[in-house]
Amino acid sequence: MTSRSLLHVRDLPYFRSWLVAKGWLDKSPLPDFVVLRMTHDKYSGELLVYKRLATSNKGALEHLTLFGRSEKEWFKWHDEVKK
């Protein structure tokens, strides 16, 4: 499932630091719209966070898109850090 309103742009550096502390390896983002790309020995595939290209109400692009593993890890981060 894709979530487009969980991770605010300003929280990306904190989320990235938390992932690194949890054993995720930072990879070079893919061109254009991938802003975070990470791998972990424990999980298959990559954790990807995408930059939004547009909003339905033509508002500011304040949030990033999470999909799959990135959404699961966001909930762990949110529960641990945002208490």
The pLDDT, as a whole number, for residue 15 is 94
Alpha helices in the chain (DSSP H): 12-21, 69-81
Give the whole-angstrom CA distance, residue 7 versus residue 4: 8
CB proximity list for 9: less than 8 A, separation 6 or greater: 61, 62, 63, 64
- Mark the ranges of the chain whose per-residue pLDDT is less than 50: none
Give dist(CA 10, CA 25) in Å, integer: 21
Residue 41's pLDDT is 93
Q: Alpha-carbon torsion 76, 77, 80, 83, what sign?
A: negative
- Domains of the chain in start order, with CATH, are 2-81 (3.30.310)
